[in-house]
Amino acid sequence: MQKKWNLQDIRPPQPRKSRAPRPVESNEYDEPNEVLDRSSTKSPFKNREQVANIIIEDGTKSANKRLMVSVVLFFVIVGGAIGLSALMGKTELTIYPEHRQPNISAEFTAYPDQRDNSLSYEIMTLETTGEGQVKASGQVNVEQQASGVIEIIKTTPGAERLIKNTRFRNSDGLVFRIQESVVVPGSITGSDGDSVPGTIQAEVFADQAGAEYNLAAGSTFDIPGFEESGFVALYEAITARNPASFIDGFSGPQFKIDDEELSSARQALQLELRNILLARMENEKPANFIAFDGSIAITYNQLPAEEFGENLVTIREQAILQIPLFETIALGSFLAEETIATYDNTPVRVDDPKLIAFQYTIATTSSSIIANETSLTFKLTGKPLLIWEYDIDKLTKDLAGLPQTAINNAVVGYPGILEARVHATPFWKRTFPELAEDIIVIEELKDKE
């Protein structure tokens, strides 16, 4: 039988202290002699100060709730960081190409047309005119024929000889004649199977004097003699164009100017025109071609003077800049063949042409119309940086979507590549991007051991 405990058994009884009665505040609405009724449902302590409630919570449940919130925040933050890293990640492919830097000091000959085992070039021609004022001392009558150079083109096989004074006619009916006979080569079949026209250049002069014969570069010509004689096939196969303007054509009075004053004015004008052409050359040089500063050739032509005012004459000058352009890979491969004993005939490019000095063997070449030359002879000196070429577009397409370890086998098929390395972010990324254009290619040179 369980024993029941009484409150007095646990807590010893203490004598109840007498307490002074608490004064009751009167209310202006209460009756003066109202007797407190303790049985009333209306609390007699309505004006008594309220004591705050004490709530006891379960600490285990609060701790679990905080832990769950922390775990959720952790995964949100980490997941967001991973997602942002994936979006901002990149894959860099560093290529270390084969390269050499040989010493060069030799004389070479290049040709304007393609020849086996020879270096070829293209001529870029720029021209401009300027004017200035000088005092005149009189007038003289001048009759002068325009002259220039044309490029004769034959689109069918077989060479054709053109005799001296053969006529060439432009679209306006103006006639020019070649100064010497030439043999125009026939077309040939190129390495790609396409027909390559035969070309040759020849000097021409206008049939008559007059400024109207000063034609702009790029004018086209036919041979009226073939048409008149009924040689339709030759008439259609042989045409011509002038790579530079025709000049010096004039008919009429020209002003006479003191020679010393004229020479000084023309020198200042020529220097101004030269600077203009050099600036244009840097901007207009086509991509993938090399132009050496030492290979520039500039010629100047006096144009007819014009009256500017009383005793003043406007002198006019034409400047023509011509420079041979060498295709970057063709020049690099040629120099590699000439200087590297172990060269394997793979494409090589010249990285920095400023490391090579160019000088014409004949000094007067730099002041002549080099488009008239059948070849150019020059000396190259320096230590050019030759870099082996590789098809980077094909390589990135081969690697797209593959594991990064695939780079080791891929570069074996590219003899121009010594080594390649991959760096990708985020660090856990182990494959190349699905799109080849998303692979960032960096080229660096590695010192040979």
Q: Is residue 331's pLDDT more than 60?
A: yes
Q: How far apart are CA 363 and CA 80, in angstroms?
A: 70
What band does 28 get if pLDDT is binned at 50, 70 and 90?
very low
- The per-residue DSSP string of 122-157 comes to EEEEEEEEEEEEEEEEEEEEEEEEEEEEEEEEE-SS
What band does 208 get if pLDDT is binned at 50, 70 and 90?
very high
In sequence order, the β-bridge partners of residue 132 are 315
Q: Is residue 17's pLDDT more than 70?
A: no
Which H or E run includes 403? none
In tens, the pLDDT along 245-267 reads: 898 898 887 777 778 888 889 99
Q: CA-based Rg of the chain, rounded to a whole angstrom?
A: 48
Per-residue tokens: 111: 């040709």
Cis amide bond preceding 426, omega within 30? yes
Query: Worst-scoring range by mean pLDDT, 9-13, 113-117, 195-199, 433-437?
Result: 9-13
In sequence order, the β-bridge partners of residue 440 are 92
195 contact partners, CB below 8 Å, separation of at least 6:
155, 187, 188, 189
Per-residue tokens: 50: 């309220």
Q: What is the mean pLDDT of residues 167-190?
A: 94
What band does 30 get if pLDDT is binned at 50, 70 and 90?
very low
Highest mean pLDDT among 80-89, 95-104, 309-318: 95-104
pLDDT computed for residue 39 by the predictor: 44
In sequence order, the β-bridge partners of residue 141 are 253
Indicate yes or no: pTM above 0.85.
no
Q: For residue 246, count CB atoms less than 10 angstroms from its CB and return exposed for 0-12, middle for 13-18, buried for 19 or more.
A: buried
Identify whether the C-beta of residue 196 lies closer than 8 Å to the C-beta of residue 151.
no
What band does 11 get if pLDDT is binned at 50, 70 and 90?
low
17 contact partners, CB below 8 Å, separation of at least 6:
none
Q: What is the mean pLDDT of residues 308-315?
A: 76
Comparison of pLDDT for 131 and 12, the residue scoring more: 131
Q: Domain residue spans in the chain?
A: 88-98+387-443, 104-382
